[in-house]
Amino acid sequence: MKSMTGTAIWRTAAGAGAAVLVLALAACGSSSSSGAATPEPTADAGSTPTAAVPEGADQAVVDLLPAAVKEKGELSVGMEAQYPPFEFYDTDNTTIIGFDADIANALAKHMGLKLVLNDAAFDSIIPSLASGRYDLGISGFTVTAEREKQVDFVTYYYEGDGLMVKAGDPSNLTIGDSLCGAKVAVLKGSTQALRSVPELDKGCKSAGKPDIAATVVPGSNDLGLSLQSGRVDAVLTDGSNAAYAAKLSDGKFEVATGQPYNPAPFGIASPKGNGMDKAVQKALEAMLADGSYKAPLDKWGMQAGAIDTPKINEVTG
């Protein structure tokens, strides 16, 4: 697994003042065609005409798309647009930008599909994939065995937890025993809430210390607000989100010292068993080859979590 920096992860609404004060936690590289678009063939008697591959699309990727996705001509992606640098609103409060948005755009181009980004509550995205509302979920999802029971994942990044604290770290907190008894905000449905805090609590019990006083918030924006208001002492979120939020906080917040906690693959989610994962994997392979995967990494300063190979359902057990 690749090494990761202690970057911070906050889902926040972009915009002049909001980006600084409203921080949240746990989402356009262009692609180039490997060849010219295939012309529409002339139909012979008794033959079925084959549709031309859209310009800029990759035939090998298009061939793997589920028929229903190919026929509608759109790639519908669910993401919580409050989580920079993964996904958040631009200053027009309409356009979703960020690392995940750029990855989605490059995927859609390789697939020859029109991209439709949908802002959604983080914990609603996986259930919405199962119901067919979205074709993909790209929102900083940590790949876990439990989530793999509901959706298929293709790894596209590696990330670990980071701890956001107030400037100067007045409570002297790091991810470990120092969090025992501390007030810590986590996002509903996140791996921080479902896995990291319970694991850390085991260490607290072993040390004879009180459990973490976790505050589970419904949206990423609430994480930063909780820290700013003093309701919590720290926010536990993905490392890149924490680092980005600290950078935008005008010195109000920082990332606590220490190594990323629970480093794990991030995955692009698709409906279980519908074959969309194969198309995503093939598209990511093409993006690694043509530079459209590297471009968003460089743009958002996220090179530390880059993958070498897009794996399907990487986590087992």
Domains of the chain: 18-31+56-159+263-305 (3.40.190.10), 164-260 (3.40.190.10)
| pLDDT tens-digit map of 258-267 | 989 999 999 9
| pLDDT tens-digit map of 210-252 | 999 999 999 988 999 999 999 999 999 999 999 999 998 999 9
What mean pLDDT value characterizes the chain?
86
pLDDT at 51: 57
Q: What angle do CA 81, 112, 289 make, to 5 degrees?
A: 85
| pLDDT tens-digit map of 141-159 | 999 999 999 999 999 999 9
- What six digits make up the tokens of 313? 């359902």
